[in-house]
Chain A
Amino acid sequence: MSQNFAPKIVTANHLVEGDVIYLTENGDWSRNHSDAEFITDEARAAIRLGFAEAQQERVVGAYLADAKLGPNGPAPIHFREDFRSRGPSNYQHGKQSEQTNV
């Protein structure tokens, strides 16, 4: 583990539905942030991002986002990722209303 590496998760949007998705350890995609693979190694992060980017027929715009370990698994750090993991604040739309698996 690199000492200076801030832990990451891989996230993207689902190609057809547009919903926010997270790369899991077994290489699937989940709609829940807490299911994401928690990546603490820089080289592993690059490999997993490459793996995600190669899935052009399934995902759009994969990137690495900072994360921390919460009680249920990886949790967002930045407020943007927090909103992405829940949905908008003006309506109960998006993930906050529909917690399902891909």
Chain B
Amino acid sequence: MYKYNDFDEAFVRSRNAQFRLQVERRVDGSLTEDEFKPLRLMNGLYLQLHAYMLRVAIPYGTLDSAKMRQLAYLADRWDKGYGHFTTRQNIQYNWPKLSDVPDMLDALADVEMHAIQTSGNTIRNVTADHFAGASADEIEDPRPIAELLRQWSTDHPEFQFLPRKFKIAVSGSPTDRAVTRAHDIGLRMVRNEAGEPGFEVIVGGGLGRTPMVGKVLREFLPKADLLPYCEAIVSVYNLLGRRDNKYKARIKITVHENGLDKIRELVDARFTQIRPEFSGVDQEHLAEIERHFAAPEFVSGPTAQYQTARDTNPAFRSWSDTNLSAHKNPDYAIVTISIKAHGQTPGDATSDQMRVMADLAEQYGHNELRISHEQNVILPHVHKKDLPAIYASLKEVGLATANIGLISDIIACPGMDYCALATARSIPVAQQIATRFDELKLEHDIGELKIKISGCINACGHHHVGHIGILGLDRAGVENYQITLGGDGTENAAIGERAGPGFAYDEIVPAIERLVLGYLDMRLDAEEPFLQTYKRLGAGPFKAVLYPEAIKKNAA
């Protein structure tokens, strides 16, 4: 876990002190809203439908118990006893008062957290594989690089007024769990022919209004070149990116309009120019950062309790089938705690739940927690003997849902229940789908299926890369939901294809039910997941089950 040095501490404290005075000047009328708005956004404070919303960064999704407890404290003291984990490894508080926000930021600084650059046209929170430092398939822990990028991008004088927001994701594994291909810059660790680790650099990915899968700008970038190369990319974008049209301002459009070759040429030229200025200080600093991320001292010991619990407790077995992933240490497991209990709001955790997760991390998990972009919480390092005890504790607070990767493990943005940009609700649709398939008792039979729901075209709910994506729109003053099929957020990223006309609010859940029951009829066997069946058969048969009336009409 990275520990702030004196510089970090002083920087965050001074930003908070500035913001406190800015809030005071806004409240006493010295600042207009037009003057104040960019200042509050720089510090993660939005005004949403019903209240302000504070978005707090959880850099590369990593937390320790003290940080998680402090998030719970904020929820109790200044909000309504819960927080919402987002698809970019942030946590959002939906009900703060403007006058309380400076105190909230100070409380965050007490545990080395902040809300800086969680909004605005800057480089946002750098996200990473939520299994970083733990997964069996990893080349290297990507978090030191992510921390280096965080420090470099924070208050970077050249990049405070970019054409539009800029998002970077890092994966230390060839298996992409960080959706790197849907980011402005995606960094995926790979090895070259000599076996050395470096990064595949992906640029110009993004969802939103114009979804695009990122393109490979460099197949292999040596680690030592990473910072100057990223600086070259953002620098080229800063000059070339469009400022005349907000909807064409993201780097994905810059890459699309100029072509990848042209971008590569410009980036290479800029890189050649600035590379010598990176004298190696960044690498020395990186080495210092890496020391903070040393792997915990794993303990060895028998894991028989785990097997016994699996043999004797079917509920535990079911949970361990879905919620555990392979750890690099065979005696350990990665635990994904589902923040998706059936019928609950995806990503919302109460302060009590946060404290239980903090306690479990402290007692059993080398004091580490992660937040995934899929809005779940992870205990990355758990000895298998402790899994039954963890499961029992989670069960007491409603956190033992065995549904990771299944149909009720839905990503949903806040939608029109909170968000000022939304065109329709997301949360109740997610709640109803989860509840319905829990009633049908089909979830485990259906197997791996990712449903992702966005309440507007900006696609915070990643619907384009859902196996089934749902996009909520406003059609003539009524909520309407479009379905996309075949999206994929992994290293084989694909944008889902729109299935056809949208469905009304009360029709969308039955439509999803038809679609999924149709899949069960069409799949070769229980081993063929939804996405594979879709790839094998194409959209046709799925559209037929979604729109039976259209088929009848055509046949008539």
Contact = CB atoms under 8 A, between A and B. Distances in A.
Contact of A17 (B29, B48, B51): B51
Interface string B404-427: 000000000000111000000101
Contact of A20 (B29, B50, B52): B50
Interface in B91-145: 94-99
Contact of A79 (B27, B47, B52, B478): B478
Interface stretch (A33-41, A43-51, A67-75, A86-94): A86-94
Nearest to A53: B33
A10 to B, nearest CB: 16
A57 B417 contact: no
> Which applies to chain A's interface (DSSP): helix, strand, loop or mixed?
loop
B29 A57 contact: yes
Contact of B98 (A16, A78, A83): A16
A30 interface: no
Contacts of B95: 18, 93
Nearest to B32: A56
Contacts of B345: 90-91
B243 interface: no
A60 B417 contact: no
Contacts, number: 76
B431 interface: yes
B49 interface: yes
A90 B27 contact: no
Contacts of B417: 83, 88-90
A77 B47 contact: no
B46 to A, nearest CB: 10
B51 A61 contact: no
Nearest to A78: B477
Contacts of B479: 79
B428 interface: yes
A68 B33 CA distance: 30
Given A15-B26, A79-B477, A89 B428 contact: yes
Contacts of A13: 47, 51
A88 B418 contact: yes
B292 interface: no
B80 interface: yes
Nearest to A93: B80
Contacts of A93: 50, 80, 94-95
Give the interface size bracket for B toward A: 20 to 34
B416 A80 contact: yes
Contacts of B96: 18
A42 interface: no
Given A13-B47, A90-B345, A57 B27 contact: yes
B549 interface: no
B28 interface: yes
B99 A16 contact: yes
Contacts of A87: 50
Residue with the highest number of chain A CB atoms closer than 10 Å, among B27, B28, B33, B428: B33
Contacts of B27: 15-16, 57
A61 B33 CA distance: 8
A18 B425 contact: no
Nearest to B26: A15
A89 B98 contact: no
A83 B94 CA distance: 15
Nearest to B477: A78
Interface string B27-56: 111001100000000000001111110000
Given A83-B417, A89-B425, A89-B428, A18 B50 contact: yes
Given A79-B477, A90-B428, A93-B95, A84 B50 contact: yes
Interface in B55-103: 80, 94-99
A77 B345 CA distance: 27
A19 B50 CA distance: 5
A60 to B, nearest CB: 5
B106 to A, nearest CB: 18
A84 B47 contact: no
Nearest to B344: A90
Given A57-B27, A61-B33, A83 B427 contact: no
Given A16-B97, A61-B33, A89 B427 contact: yes
Given A56-B29, A89-B428, A90-B348, 20 more contacts: A15-B26, A15-B98, A16-B27, A17-B98, A18-B47, A18-B48, A18-B52, A19-B50, A20-B49, A77-B477, A79-B474, A80-B49, A84-B50, A88-B417, A88-B418, A89-B427, A90-B417, A90-B428, A93-B50, A94-B51
10 contacts: A16-B27, A16-B99, A17-B51, A17-B98, A18-B51, A18-B97, A57-B27, A60-B47, A83-B417, A88-B427
Interface of B: 26-29, 32-33, 47-52, 80, 94-99, 345, 348, 416-418, 425, 427-428, 431, 474, 477-479
